[in-house]
Structures are given as structure tokens and as C-alpha cells.
């Protein structure tokens, strides 16, 4: 592939990663805890897209993937709510590591359920738009529209202001009478739907495999660390950087080297700049 083509596919990949990372940060900021099942929500979004595509074909409909996306988003939101209800709500007064362990357990349940009921073999989700060549462009457009909406909600609405208040100072937000629990539930739903959407977008080109969740989890995590813990624009930038890195290293060396060097890079970032490339100091917040 030539450079413009590579750039396009890197941007498409980055757009999907950005959805994953922004969803992760939204939950992180509202709940103050890491949702480790986020990567498996991405995987299950892909599973949902595959299954919906199969179901549509079974009734004789050949529709582009974009028609299925609203349903995938709803399923993702439901998954997010399940994670919040089981892995966060009963543990909200306990140390953050309790939520961490609980969501690891949920991630494992998601992955093993997918292996058992969906099968361990990779499957392909329907393309977002009819022709394969337009797929990267369609991914970028869908992700841009959705991320634009998230931006508008965060910056221009009362809900968004409450979110930001909660993210900045949980205690103060509560003292001001901002209802934390409904907001946190909303964040889990939003995080889940962004993850599900990303899974459906990625599922055509990169296939859907039951055990791919931790990989996506790691990508979101790395994006957030690079962009600065808790920063939404940072997560977006981090996701794009990862995608560019992966695509170009994979093209010049190999996909395996792209993965390996990415992990080495994140260890180096944690070593040299634990505050992220543009963010706040690490280690201050849970």
C-alpha cells in the first residue's frame, strides 16, 4: 500500500480506537475506577454485529452494516449498565482495586461466554458500507459523527457540565447535590455503547474473535495513559497515535513487531513520562 492509503486505514483504525478510548475515559471519570471489561464490550459489540448480520440475511435482507449500528449501540449500552450494576455499584465505597478485580472477572465471563456460545473461531462482521473500499472512510465518518455528538453533550449541555464536575471532584459534586449514581450509570451506558459501536466498526476488517477483548482493553488503556489519565481529548489523540504507530510499523516491519514495540513504548512512557505525553501527573488519582 502507498502512503495515502496507509494513512487512510490508520485514520480509520484510529477512529475506532478513539471510540474505545473515549468510552473508557467517560466511565473512568464518572466512576473513578478502571472498567477492565471495556475491551470485552468491544468484542461483544463485534459479536452483536455478526449475529445481527446473520439474522438479517436469514430473513432475506441484505443491508449495509450501518443499518445495524443503532441496535449494536443499544446492546453496548445494556452491557455497560450490566458492568456498572455488577462490578461497580456494590463496590463503590471500597478501594478502586476492588472494582478493578470485579471488572476483570466480568471481562472473563464475557470472553468465556463468547467462546462457548459464539465459538472461538474468527468471524467477519458485515461491512459498514456496501463496498469494501469505502469501509475506512465509512468508519471515519461514523466515528467522527458520534465523537462530535459526545463532544457537544459534554461541552454544551447540563448533563455534560455535571459529568465534568463529577470528574473533577467527586466529593464536591456530591456536596453540590449532583446525583452521582444516575450519572455514573449513564457513563457506563455511554462507555458501553461507544465500545460496542467500535467493535462493530472493527469487526469487518479485523474480524471478531472471542479472545480479542484484552487487546482492545490494552489499546484503550495505552491511549489514555499517553493522552493523560482522565483527559477526553488526550484519549482521542492517544488513540490516533497508537493507530498511526501500529499501521506504519506493521507496514514496514510486521504486525507482530508493531504490537511488541507498542508495548515496549508504553513501558517507556510509564518510565519516562508517567504524566502522559500531554497530561496531568500520574499517581495522584486512583
Partner 1 sequence: MSRLREMATPAGVLVSVFILIAGIALARGGDSYAIRLATLAGIQALLALGYQMVFGHAGALSLAQGALFGLGAYMAALVALSAGGSGWASLSLPAAMIAPALLAAIVGAVVLRLETHYFALATLALAQLIHLGAVNWESVSGGANGLSGIPTLALFGIDAARGWPMLLVTWGLVAVIALDTAWRRAGLRGAAQDLARDHPLAAASIGIDVARHRYVEFVAGAALAGLAGGLQAHVVGVVSPDGADLAVMIGCLTAVVVGGRTRVSGAILGAILLVHLPEWFRWLENRQLIAYGLATLLMVVLAPDGLASLFDRALNVFRPRRRAPPLPALTPSATLQPVTTGPTLRARHLSKSYGGVRAVDNVSLHLRPREALAVIGPNGSGKTTLLNLVTGIARPDSGTVTLDSLSIDRAPADVVARAGLARSFQTADLPATLSTLDAVAVGAHTRPDEMARAVAWRALQRLGLEGDAATPVGTLPAGRRRLVEIARALATRPWLLALDEPAAGLSSAERAALASALSRLVANGLGIIIVEHDLDFLARVCPRGICLDRGRVIAAAPFAALRRNADVRAAYIGDAR
Residues at the site binding partner 1, with contacts judged by CB under 8 A: 34, 86-87, 90-91, 94, 96-98, 100-102, 104-109, 112-113, 115-116, 214-215, 218, 221-222, 225, 229, 256, 259-260, 263-264, 266-267, 270-271, 274, 282-283, 285-286
Q: Least CB distance from residue 285 to partner 1, whole Å?
A: 8
> Among 82, 233, 93, which residue's Cα sits nearest to residue 164?
233
CA angle 196, 190, 112 (to 5 degrees): 40
Q: Find the shortest distance in angstroms from Cβ 46 to partner 1.
A: 18
Spatial distance between the Cα atoms of 211 and 208, rounded to a whole number of angstroms = 9
Q: Which residues, including other chains, have CB under 8 Å from residue 220's CB and lie 6 or more apart?
A: 17, 20, 21, 23, 24, 38, 39, 235, 239
Is the Cβ of residue 101 or residue 149 nearer to partner 1 in the bound state? 101
Burial 118-137 (b: 16+ CB within 10 A, else e): beeeebebbbbbeeeeebbe
Cβ closer to partner 1: 145 or 284? 284
- Neighbour-count burial of 169, counting CB atoms closer than 10 A to its CB (0-12 exposed, 13-18 middle, 19+ buried): exposed
SS3 130: coil
Judged by CB, which is closer to partner 1: 133, or 284?
A: 284
Shortest approach of partner 1 to residue 273 CB, angstroms?
A: 12
Give the nearest distance from C-beta 14 to partner 1 in angstroms: 20
Which CB sits closer to partner 1, 160 or 215? 215
Report in angstroms how near the CB of residue 27 gets to partner 1 at its nearest: 13
The residue (of 141 and 250) whose beta carbon lies closer to partner 1 is 250
Amino acid at each position: 500500500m502507498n502512503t495515502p492509503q496507509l494513512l487512510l486505514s490508520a485514520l480509520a483504525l484510529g477512529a475506532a480506537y478513539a471510540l474505545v478510548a473515549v468510552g473508557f475515559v467517560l466511565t473512568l471519570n464518572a466512576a473513578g475506577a478502571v472498567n477492565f471489561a471495556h475491551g470485552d464490550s468491544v468484542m461483544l459489540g463485534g459479536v452483536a454485529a455478526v449475529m445481527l448480520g446473520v439474522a438479517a440475511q436469514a430473513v432475506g435482507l441484505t443491508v449495509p452494516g450501518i443499518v445495524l449500528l443503532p441496535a449494536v449501540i443499544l446492546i453496548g449500552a445494556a452491557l455497560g449498565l450490566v458492568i456498572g450494576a455488577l462490578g461497580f455499584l456494590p463496590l463503590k465505597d471500597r478501594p478502586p482495586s476492588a472494582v478493578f478485580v470485579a471488572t476483570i472477572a466480568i471481562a472473563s465471563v464475557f470472553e468465556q461466554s463468547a467462546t462457548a456460545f459464539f465459538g472461538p473461531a474468527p468471524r467477519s462482521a458485515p461491512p459498514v458500507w456496501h463496498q469494501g473500499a469505502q469501509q475506512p472512510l465509512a468508519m471515519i465518518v461514523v466515528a467522527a459523527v458520534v465523537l462530535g455528538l459526545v463532544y457537544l453533550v459534554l461541552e454544551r449541555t447540563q448533563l455534560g457540565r455535571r459529568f465534568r464536575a463529577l470528574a473533577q471532584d467527586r466529593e464536591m459534586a456530591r456536596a453540590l447535590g449532583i446525583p452521582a449514581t444516575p450519572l455514573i450509570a449513564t457513563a457506563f451506558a455511554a462507555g458501553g455503547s461507544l465500545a460496542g459501536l467500535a467493535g462493530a466498526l472493527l469487526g469487518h476488517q479485523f474480524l471478531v474473535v472471542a479472545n480479542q477483548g484484552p487487546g482492545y482493553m490494552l489499546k484503550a488503556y495505552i491511549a489514555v495513559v499517553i493522552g493523560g489519565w482522565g483527559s477526553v481529548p488526550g484519549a482521542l489523540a492517544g488513540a490516533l497515535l497508537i493507530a498511526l504507530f501500529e499501521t506504519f510499523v506493521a507496514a514496514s516491519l510486521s504486525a507482530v513487531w508493531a504490537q511488541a514495540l507498542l508495548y515496549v513504548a508504553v513501558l517507556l512512557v510509564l518510565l519516562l513520562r508517567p504524566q502522559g505525553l500531554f497530561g496531568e501527573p500520574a499517581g495522584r488519582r486512583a
